[in-house]
A and B are shown apart, each in its own frame.
Chain A
């Protein structure tokens, strides 16, 4: 039996990123994936003949350019296609578009509010300031503020220096921004409800918060700090669906000599004398390795895959209290043609962007109230895309794939499990909402897949269907992520590591947790993974 240097549990994007970096550093690495396919939540699935779905994650911006470059992902087929803005369709038949062109965008805002049109530059500037602060922190392991180790002190000083490099006023503004709700924050810049509704979107996506919840402004940043080829805050599609990202990673991994075993579910981590020495697969087969890295979320890793006796009780409690409530669902639709949205002019570029139907912050917040009460939103928020208007590879010509990201969907319905009936009703709610803006929409549907947090947990393995492997609130960010004292990718069990989105800096197809975990592992092996500061400049 071969002994590996490292075993990675889960072939999601972060697992693959860790695996790639370790393999590139000369380690003998195996990735074990429970599904027959790889990719975790960054997948392209063919669920209807001739159609490719990005059936979980559906857009890309956060994937770090450092990683794309280090792992030579373009060489292995990765191509990111920027998309063209988007729109909120209003209930009264109007719409607000978002254009890539600065002036077009200003005029579009001015159609709704002249004041807001001229407020947008200052708003963007302020958001960019916050992004500039946070971006360099993404690719560093958060320091433990309770530690006196030189490295932690150095990292704390690094953050402190960055903070004190800001002007005094901006320092206060940053603290304020981190603690505010996006609704209150937007009120300080804008007056028009539709404009605020559009801009609030990024603050709720994937989050068990409403736009009026304090802390939601930070979530907005989480979605703004990415870029598409240097266009800060821009988002794009992966050509061929989000699976292209993980496919490219797996090819890069293979080129470095890595091995992936798909269709092998890990039953538990083998721990001996407080050290992880391998994994036991379902069926009893064992794989041995010098270290084990889990791409699974922290709950799945420590509550289901590691025996409780191997862990300190305090840690187990912390993990149990980790907040990982799912808040979203997904409806993936194969279409016979392009739907016609009443509000949009015929050749509007908005079709090639993200479409929303929630035209006020209040409607968004009410959708969240439903989640709090343990039911899916009756009037949900949707982030809807038709990537095939840009990417011809996913469907037959003239046919389209539509991805509808839907909030809110709670992990449990009134405290109980989702039933198939609930799921179908949820799907119906979504379809009806779209159809009310696009007459004849239902006739175009060839096939659809409805995914609730239940499906997400069952198939991808995300506990409670949380797409970020853990909520993005301050109590679970930076040195608090996943739990205080374990923010540096190490676990209480020696040689058992974490590399999933449960760790800093969190979810989204970013790859940063994976790379950071690899950097920490290699550091312990006395192999430094250098990071160029040249990426940090915005």
Chain B
């Protein structure tokens, strides 16, 4: 006799979001987490004694308001060390640009008036387009068919909204849909720092360079999120608040429970089998972990059709970002930059593109580009007094790196950092570099891709994670997907989990 209605595999933000949504609908939910803490990739780690830092993502951008409000994360302890975090486009000469407000609403620094005006126009245009796309994130991707359970009302509303852009905007929207960001930036702007940072933000976490077609779409996706914020206590606080919230709703979270396989009886998912041999039954099994792992390892090809095995195997999951943590015994000095901002090293579009080139051939960037956050500048208690911790996401590195390549890449990163923050090397107490391979090993991000499948045009919406399972439902009755590998993708968001739960409830109602 099953002890719960639904089992959710993985306690990342999407797993917890799905759990919360189902619990709110009265379902009895069990969440299984292989690690010792809930949160998946959204955790805070003490990478060396006395220094705490967000283990993977270090900025909150896309947290789904349905999750934040629906689970009332605030009352479960989610606090922010900073909201509306500004961004500094670092210059090696100290001639930085400061972007404030919602994605560069105002820019200070030595930016020409023409660029200021052009940026204003471009930003507003992109924001308008992003706003049109935003609602797609909060729904099950439509199927390209008739009578297939699409949310027709919602779709019609969205269609009207797109039409409502007006003729000129609509034309521009369709032109920009699959364009590369570099061309748009070159068309509109002159300033290399500004172009560099937008190019960088576009391709952050992607296996694309700014000159790659379809890249602008990723920027629109990013702009569809809220402003940047930093949770108090690191990203682990978000997961902790979510865990608390869902537990308050009656969800049980079992830690150290690694799922070995999905139990399938008479072609139905009927439970899961844990690594320790224990079998847990439920009528609904929801995988909030990587889709490739879900299908190829937990379900196994014996229960799948070959075309589907091919598709699962073909999901592109090239993660090329490295996570760098530096424990510093003093205050790093970025030539006058405000440490209570997001610091970005991406001096030009060309610099980002050049950094991308080597990774296509399995090599790392000689001149990497990166996003730096110094969480200890925003809140106390993460590190010993007077000390700091630097957290950086650095691109691009290949998945496979031997110890020599790791050392060499770290050297290149430090050389770059030294250019922008002279003397930083001498402050280092301890460093940790997580390569894509490390991220795969520690957090199950196959290929080191934190979206569990590249966020790219060919893997978005009804193509995510792959053709046939984009509506969270799998061909195996009772088995659902709810992870970042599904629409709308990763980031600390919970949207995929929430969408999946809503879809499950809707489809259950139909049965």
Contact = CB atoms under 8 A, between A and B. Distances in A.
Best-buried of A164, A314, A372, A373 by chain B (most CB within 10 Å): A372
A168 B175 contact: no
Contacts of B179: 473-475
Nearest to B184: A321
Contacts of B458: 175-176, 179-180, 184, 214
Contacts of B137: none
B457 to A, nearest CB: 4
Interface stretch (B13-21, B205-213, B368-376, B392-400): B205-213
A369 B354 CA distance: 9
Given A176-B458, A362-B361, A479-B174, A146 B167 contact: yes
A171 interface: yes
Interface in A308-335: 314, 320-321, 323
A11 B98 CA distance: 53
A145 interface: yes
B186 to A, nearest CB: 9
A480 interface: yes
Considering the complex of A and B, which 5 residue pairs feature the smallest CB-CB distances, nearest first?
A: A484-B171, A215-B213, A474-B178, A475-B179, A179-B457
Given A168-B143, A168-B145, A172-B463, A473 B360 contact: no
Interface residues of A, number: 38
B467 interface: yes
A319 to B, nearest CB: 12
B472 interface: no
A180 B315 CA distance: 12
B457 A146 contact: no
A214 B174 contact: no
Interface of B: 143-146, 148, 167-168, 170-172, 174-180, 183, 187, 208, 211-214, 310, 314, 316, 353-354, 357, 360-361, 456-458, 462-463, 467-468
A320 to B, nearest CB: 8
Contacts of B456: 179, 214
B360 A168 contact: no
Nearest to B310: A188
Interface in A338-383: 362, 365-366, 369, 372-373
A474 B177 contact: yes
Contact of B175 (A179, A362, A373, A475): A475
A484 B361 contact: no
Interface of A: 145-146, 164, 168-169, 171-173, 175-176, 179-180, 184, 187-188, 209, 212-215, 314, 320-321, 323, 362, 365-366, 369, 372-373, 473-475, 479-480, 483-485
Nearest to B180: A473
A365 B310 CA distance: 26
14 contacts: A145-B174, A146-B170, A164-B146, A168-B145, A171-B145, A172-B144, A172-B463, A179-B456, A180-B458, A212-B360, A214-B178, A214-B212, A362-B361, A475-B175
Contacts of A323: 183
Contacts of A213: 211-213
- The SS class assigned to the A binding surface is helix
A481 to B, nearest CB: 10
A475 B178 contact: yes
Contacts of A314: 168
B463 A485 contact: no
B214 A214 contact: yes
B313 to A, nearest CB: 9
Given A176-B463, A323-B183, A372-B211, A215 B178 contact: yes
A215 B214 contact: yes
Nearest to A320: B187
Nearest to B187: A321
A485 B171 contact: yes
A25 B273 CA distance: 76
B360 A365 contact: yes
A176 B458 CA distance: 5
B467 A172 contact: yes
Given A214-B213, A362-B361, A484-B171, A184 B463 contact: no
Contacts of A145: 170, 174
A188 B314 contact: yes
A484 B175 contact: yes
Contacts of B144: 168, 171-172, 175
Contacts of B175: 475, 480, 483-484
Contacts of B146: 164
A369 B353 CA distance: 9
Given A175-B462, A180-B458, 5 more contacts: A146-B167, A168-B143, A172-B144, A321-B183, A475-B183
A291 B177 CA distance: 35
A123 to B, nearest CB: 13
Given A188-B314, A372-B211, A172 B462 contact: yes
A369 B168 contact: no
B172 A484 contact: yes
B398 to A, nearest CB: 13
Nearest to B216: A475
A187 B144 CA distance: 25
Given A176-B458, A484-B172, A485-B171, A169 B178 contact: no
Given A172-B463, A176-B463, A372-B211, A362 B177 contact: no
Contacts of A485: 167-168, 171
A264 B351 CA distance: 46
A213 B207 CA distance: 10
A127 B355 CA distance: 33
A209 B215 CA distance: 14
A215 B458 CA distance: 10
Contacts of A172: 144, 462-463, 467
Contacts of B214: 179, 214-215
Contacts of B148: 168
B5 to A, nearest CB: 31
Contacts of A320: 187
Contact of B468 (A169, A187, A366, A479): A169
A31 B145 CA distance: 49
Contact of B213 (A146, A164, A169, A474): A474
Contacts of A146: 167, 170-171
Nearest to B354: A373
A184 B360 CA distance: 12
Nearest to A486: B171
Contacts of B314: 187-188
Given A184-B316, A214-B456, A176 B360 contact: no
Nearest to B214: A214
Contact of B467 (A169, A184, A214, A480): A169
Nearest to B167: A146
A362 B398 CA distance: 15
Contacts of A171: 144-145
A372 B210 CA distance: 11
Nearest to A215: B213
Given A215-B214, A372-B211, A179 B174 contact: no
A403 to B, nearest CB: 29
A526 B17 CA distance: 61
B174 A480 contact: yes
A36 to B, nearest CB: 37
A372 B211 CA distance: 9
B401 to A, nearest CB: 18
Nearest to B316: A184
A171 B470 CA distance: 14
Contacts of B310: 188
Contacts of B168: 314, 485
A180 to B, nearest CB: 5
A180 B467 CA distance: 14
Contacts of B208: 214
Contacts of A184: 316, 458
Contacts of B172: 484
A372 to B, nearest CB: 6
Contacts of B354: 373
A473 B214 CA distance: 10
A146 B462 CA distance: 24
